[in-house]
Amino acid sequence: MRRFVIPVNFLALPDFRVLMDRAAEEYGFEQEGGLRLPCDEEYFQDIMVCCYGKLRMNYINNWMAQR
């Protein structure tokens, strides 16, 4: 099992929320240590790439709106 550190901003993204909801269903809310997610590493990395892309687009859109 590998450990990952994720930005707090991910918690607000729908793609990551799906993983959080699945973790709550499978493991409950009383986990010790790190948060376990019910998916394989490859799927998790795909979600991470997607989330980073969405955050980047949000920053770009906000920057463009301020111009």
- Per-residue pLDDT of 9-66, as tens digits, reads 888 889 899 999 999 998 888 777 778 888 889 999 999 999 999 888 888 888 889 8
- Residue 49's alpha-carbon distances to 15, 44, 66, in angstroms, are 11, 9, 26
Distance CA 19, CA 25 (A): 10
Name the pTM for this structure.
0.69
Which pLDDT score, from 0 to 100, does residue 21 have? 92
